[in-house]
């Protein structure tokens, strides 16, 4: 082992070795970029095949923090650890699913009513918008272009058909869409069952993974890897739970404001704002734009108050609500988040955008806690070695030294 280290240090001092290693890295990186489409297709195929398992894992991972809290309370009443954990997991899973199902039951009638009323009044809204455009001071060609675009979107049936079925508006396309909906519901139900088994088998799964990684990872690196995993688990679980809670809070506050101001389509707009708030950075602006367009079509006088309130709500959410929910676990540089949003969106679409912040937080943690200390120690060792060599050379060059002969 010592001979290998000496040989590596000798090569490290050789600049050609460094250039060769750098060239190899560049070639590998170029090959990865050149075949990124193939990697993406393989990844998407893997996701499609394992989608049911992923749904179950996500549900279990989301419910797990609540199950841990419930377990600490139930453990005081039930001495058997396995029985206490199974009961905690069951109660937590039922509570979370019941909460979302109940919320859906409460919101669905009002949401359907909002969508139905908007669909029935769409032609009138479009005519009002065309009159507004024609009465404006825009260029005549610009007016005609905007009016033609509005006419294309006025056919609600065509718009919905294209959105739902794409270009395949045929009996086979409708049948395929229905089959996809049925398959999605079935996969979700299977995912719920898998989530239950993931939760009750969490301890055994953790023991198996711990044993495997203990054997695979070198002992000197095991502690660092374990610390990274613990931090990753903390960041990811907190991120998922707090993002859902934050979206719920923003949606409720937005709905309350719109109901107080007697704004139309309050439930629909609040659902849009809540869902788009899950996407970091750009999501709230997308939701605000969609709702502003709807209000512009229905009652333009509400657009400015809504946008002002949305801006104030996002400032409060960004500087008060989220810091209190997330704590210090997700302090990530803004530029790193933007890079991950762009790259993640290009590679994995919506999931890539949603996971941008936790992945950026993990990399930031690895850089601060592992890479920086390693580079610091490496630089310190090199500086000490260089200082020792310089001191030796100076000692050899002193007058009267035996080496001077």
Tens of pLDDT, residues 146-183: 777 766 665 555 555 555 445 545 556 556 666 777 87
Structure tokens that stand for 340 in this block: 């991950």
Per-residue pLDDT, averaged over 384-396, amounts to 76
Q: Taking 50 as the threshold, does the pLDDT of residue 38 lie above it?
A: yes
Instruction: Determine the pLDDT at residue 91.
Output: 92
Per the model's pLDDT, the better-predicted residue between 8 and 137 turns out to be 137
What is the structure's pLDDT at 361? 76
Res. 243 pLDDT band, cuts 50 70 90 = confident
Q: How confident is the model at residue 6 (pLDDT cuts 50, 70, 90)?
A: low
Tell me what the mean pLDDT of segment 95-114 comes to: 86
Average pLDDT value for residue range 113-123: 76
| Percent above pLDDT 70 for the chain | 74
* pLDDT tens column, 294-335: 888 788 888 899 999 988 988 888 777 776 776 555 666 666
String of DSSP letters for 317-335? IIIIIHHHHHTTTT---HH
Q: Per-residue pLDDT for 63 more than 60?
A: yes
Task: Give the number of other CB atoms < 10 A from CB of residue 343.
Answer: 13
Q: State the pLDDT at residue 260.
A: 92
Say if residue 157 is exposed, middle or buried (CB neighbours under 10 Å; 0-12, 13-18, 19+).
exposed
With 0-12 / 13-18 / 19 or more C-beta atoms within 10 angstroms meaning exposed / middle / buried, residue 117 is middle
Confidence of residue 246 (pLDDT cuts 50, 70, 90): confident
Helices in 261-333 by DSSP H: which ranges? 266-276, 283-298, 303-316, 322-326
Residues 6+ apart with CB under 8 A from 191: 52, 53, 54, 55, 56, 58, 59
Q: Is the pLDDT of residue 36 over 70?
A: no
pLDDT band, residue 201 (cuts 50/70/90): confident
> Where does the pLDDT of residue 257 fall: very low under 50, low under 70, confident under 90, or very high at 90 and above?
very high
- The confidence score (pLDDT) of residue 253 equals 92
User: For the chain, what is the total number of helices (H) and then of strands (E)?
Assistant: 19, 0
* pLDDT at residue 54 greater than cutoff 70: yes
Question: How confident is the model at residue 4, as a pLDDT?
Answer: 45
Which of left, alpha, beta for 404 (phi over 0: left; psi -120 to 50: alpha)? alpha
Bigger pLDDT: 149 vs 91: 91
Can you give the pLDDT at residue 306?
92
**Mean pLDDT in the chain?**
76
């Amino acid at each position: 082992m010592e001979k290998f280290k000496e040989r590596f240090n000798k090569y490290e001092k050789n600049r050609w070795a460094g250039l060769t290693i750098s060239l190899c890295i560049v070639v590998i990186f170029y090959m990865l970029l050149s075949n990124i489409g193939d990697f993406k297709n393989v990844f998407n195929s893997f996701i499609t095949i394992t989608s049911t398992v992923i749904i179950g894992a996500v549900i279990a991972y989301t419910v797990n923090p609540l199950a841990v809290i419930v377990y600490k309370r139930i453990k005081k009443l039930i001495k058997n650890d396995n029985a206490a954990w199974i009961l905690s997991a069951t109660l937590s899973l039922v509570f979370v699913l019941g909460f979302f199902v109940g919320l859906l039951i409460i919101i669905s009638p009002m949401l359907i009513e909002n969508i139905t009323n908007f669909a029935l009044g769409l032609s009138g809204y479009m005519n009002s918008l065309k009159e507004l455009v024609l009465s404006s001071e825009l260029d005549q060609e610009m007016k005609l272009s905007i009016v033609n675009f509005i006419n294309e979107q006025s056919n609600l049936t065509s718009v919905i058909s294209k959105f739902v079925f794409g270009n395949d508006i045929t009996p086979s396309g409708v049948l395929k869409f229905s089959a996809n909906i049925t398959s999605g519901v079935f996969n979700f139900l299977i995912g719920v069952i898998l989530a239950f088994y993931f939760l009750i088998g969490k301890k055994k799964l953790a023991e198996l993974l711990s044993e495997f990684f203990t054997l695979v990872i070198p002992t000197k690196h095991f502690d660092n890897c374990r610390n990274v995993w613990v931090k990753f688990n903390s960041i990811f679980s907190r991120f998922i739970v707090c993002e859902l809670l934050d979206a719920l809070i923003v949606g409720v506050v937005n709905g309350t404001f719109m109901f107080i101001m007697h704004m139309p389509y309050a439930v629909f707009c609040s659902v849009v704002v809540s869902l788009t708030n899950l996407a970091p950075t750009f999501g709230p602006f997308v939701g605000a734009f969609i709702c502003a367009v709807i209000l512009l079509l229905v009652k333009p006088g509400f657009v400015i108050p809504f946008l002002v309130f949305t801006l104030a709500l996002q400032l409060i959410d960004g500087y008060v609500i989220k810091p209190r929910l997330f704590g210090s676990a997700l302090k990530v540089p803004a530029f790193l988040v933007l890079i991950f949003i762009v790259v993640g969106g290009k590679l994995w679409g919506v999931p890539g955008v949603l996971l941008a912040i936790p992945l950026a937080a993990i990399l930031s943690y690895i850089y601060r806690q592992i890479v920086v200390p390693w580079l610091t120690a490496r630089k310190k060792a090199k500086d000490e070695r260089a200082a020792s060599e310089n001191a030796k050379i100076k000692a050899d060059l002193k007058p009267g030294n035996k080496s001077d002969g």
